[in-house]
Amino acid sequence: MALIETHIENRVATITFNRPEALNALSREVIAAFREAIRTLRQDRNVSVVVLTGAGEKAFIAGADIKGMAELTPIQAAAFAAEGQDALFELERMPQVSIAAVNGFALGGGCEFAMACDLIYAADVAKFGQPEVNLGIPAGFGGTQRLTRLVGPMKAREMLLLGKPITAEKAEAIGLCAAVFPKDQLMAQVRAIAGELVEKGPEALAKTKALIREGMDLDLGRAIALERESFAVCFSSPNQKEGMAAFLEKRKPNWERT
Ligand code: HXC
């Protein structure tokens, strides 16, 4: 069985981390296979939404592979962190909208992979956490930065310094996930949300997700200027004409996919 399974249906690609015997822990091989999968998908015109989830009953991803990290030299540790960090930049920069369907434990690297997705939905049984301090290391796949940007420094410190996992309900309350669903309904709900996204203007979605990510690292004036540029660029797309014509003609838009 492949470490990463990709399934495409109705313009939605589902990437499943498939190492359930190790709670889908991220080995170098898993990260390499994941990068390969997203590089292929980012060029696939038949894919509008990418969903990440974990195989098995217990975990989304229980973190980076601790067995694989235990004996790393500092140079190897830097290379391993860079592989995960680069994978997550690639995930964030995909033109398609990404959704983490967090079906169980999302710990350490698992929480970090989820946070690089545009949307996070969780099963009621899911647990989110950054428990690295228990292993004598800080987070290494961007957790100290993305968690802080998502939930603010106080809640981020609580998770990153105490290392204690939180429930899906709490994750929703602090803005770490968008909504919580009963476990047996998670994938159906995520597919329904993905189906709604498929109906939106493709350039508009790509620009919006990029503006939110990039804007967070800019001062407000520059971020708003970037928004204006993206807004203007969309007027060079046939889909701006189509979206507005469809509204005025009281019909559904027929998007051009380039
Ligand atoms: C390697 C892991 C693993 C991990 C679980 N397993 N998490 N293997 N790396 N991160 C393996 C276990 O060793 C075990 O294998 C099998 O999966 C089932 O796990 P159990 O512990 O038996 O299950 P359970 O008792 O239900 O406990 C679930 C759990 C626990 C609470 C999620 O597994 C756990 O605490 N895992 C580690 C979580 C963690 O610390 N994650 C952060 C990693 S550091 P065997 O062979 O014994 O059956 C990280 C850094 C990222 O992510 C940045 C790097 C640069």
- Mean pLDDT per 10-residue segment, the chain (258 residues): 95 98 98 98 96 98 98 98 98 98 98 98 98 98 98 98 98 98 98 98 97 96 98 97 98 94
Atom 11 (ligand 1): residue with closest C-alpha?
22
**How far is residue 98's CA from residue 94's CA, in Å, rounded to a whole number?**
8
* CB-based contact 68:32 (threshold 8 Å): no
92 flagged as catalytic: no
Catalytic residue (one of 71, 83, 92, 112): 112
- Could you list the beta-strand ranges (E) of the chain: 4-9, 12-17, 49-54, 59-61, 97-102, 105-107, 119-123, 127-129, 166-167, 179-181
Catalytic residue (one of 92, 132, 172, 203): 132
Output the CA 76–ligand 1 centroid distance in Å: 21
What φ, ψ does residue 175 adopt, rounded to 5°? 90, 20
Three-point CA angle 56, 163, 127, nearest 5° = 30
132 flagged as catalytic: yes
Residue 246, Cβ density class (10 Å: 0-12 exposed, 13-18 middle, ≥19 buried): middle
Distances (CA, A) of 99 to 27, 123, 164: 22, 13, 24
Which SS3 state, helix, strand or coil, does residue 179 take? strand
Summarised one tens digit per residue, pLDDT across range 49-96 is 999 999 999 999 999 999 999 999 999 999 999 999 999 999 999 999
